[in-house]
Amino acid sequence: MAASRKSFAIIGLGTFGSTVAMELVRFGNYVLGIDIDEKRANRLADTLSEVIITDASDEAALREVGLANYDVVLVAVGEDFEACILATMNARLLGAKTIWVKAISRTQHRILSKLGADRIVHPESEYGQHIAQMLHNPLVKDYVKLGNGFHVFDIEVSKRGAGESISSLNLGAFDLRCLGLMRGTKFFDCSQPDLLMQVGDLLLILGRRVDLRRFSDSLT
């Protein structure tokens, strides 16, 4: 079963914002790019679902975009922290469902957390793909690249999986392998026949990103 198409609004199309935006498009999502810089916006006009040239720090201008209609808004404004603050405040005031914001310091993190950001990230350009993976698959809490296309993913168990055995996930059908289960600070072997998953458990899954996406799609 195909995953439902998600929608994202990316405010700020610098190196980080454009990387996340292009990855999300590659995953098959609807992505709106917003930037005040015409050159940066035009560079992605043929790649993203939609691109708008506007000042995200202007509430009236941003209101016309309809941020409340998007699943996630990512504020990826770079060095202009005042613009970042205003864009975050505007997104919250305009009813954005979930807001992720880029920060470059602990001080910025503290300020943005007070403004109601749901998640604050501290990325460099190479981290864009990492964030896109977690945005696309909300159950993925983190992952580590091993090489040769393989990763170890931390998958959080939701209410849907609570009370079920790990074998019920049929990971082998997706070329994935369970390496273990973390429950708080305790580690459990996946092969234990009487081990039932609980909400908040972390499954350590070995596999390729394309196979994880197939598995995630099967859960929707």
| pLDDT in the model for residue 130 | 65
Residue 76 and residue 59 in one domain:
yes
144 and 180 part of one domain: yes
Q: Round to whole Å and give the CA distance between 35 and 58.
A: 12
Number of domain units in the chain: 2
Same domain, 53 and 102: yes
Judgement on whether residues 102 and 160 belong to the same structural domain of the protein: no
Note the pLDDT tens digit of each residue in 36-84.
Answer: 999 999 999 999 999 999 999 999 988 999 999 999 999 999 778 999 9
CA distance 27 to 32: 14
Nearest Cα neighbor of 145 from 163, 160, 133 is 133
**Residue 147 placed within a domain:** yes
Same domain, 46 and 62: yes
Is residue 1 in a domain?
no
Structural domain includes residue 72? yes
Domain assignment present for residue 130? The answer is yes
Q: Tell me: the pLDDT tens digits for 79-107?
A: 789 999 999 999 999 999 999 999 888 88
Domain enclosing residue 143, as ranges = 139-218
| Residue 2 belongs to some domain of the structure | no
Based on the fold, state whether residues 20 and 126 are members of the same structural domain: yes
> Which 3-state string (H, E, C) describes 111-173?
HHHHCCCCEEECCCHHHHHHHHHHHHCCCEEEEEEEECCEEEEEEECCCCCCCCEHHHHCHHH
For residue 191, what pLDDT is reported? 83
pLDDT of residue 127: 62
What value, to the nearest 5°, has the Cα angle with vertex 156 and ends 116 and 143? 90
**What would the pLDDT profile of 192-210 be if each residue is shown by its tens digit?**
877 899 998 999 999 988 8
How would residue 220 be classed by pLDDT, with cut points 50, 70 and 90? low
- What digits encode the pLDDT tens for the residues 107-155? 898 999 999 899 998 865 446 666 676 677 666 777 777 778 888 888 8
Computed over every residue of the chain, the mean pLDDT equals 87
Sign of CA dihedral 26, 95, 45, 18: negative
pLDDT tens for 2-32 read 456 899 999 999 988 999 999 999 989 999 9
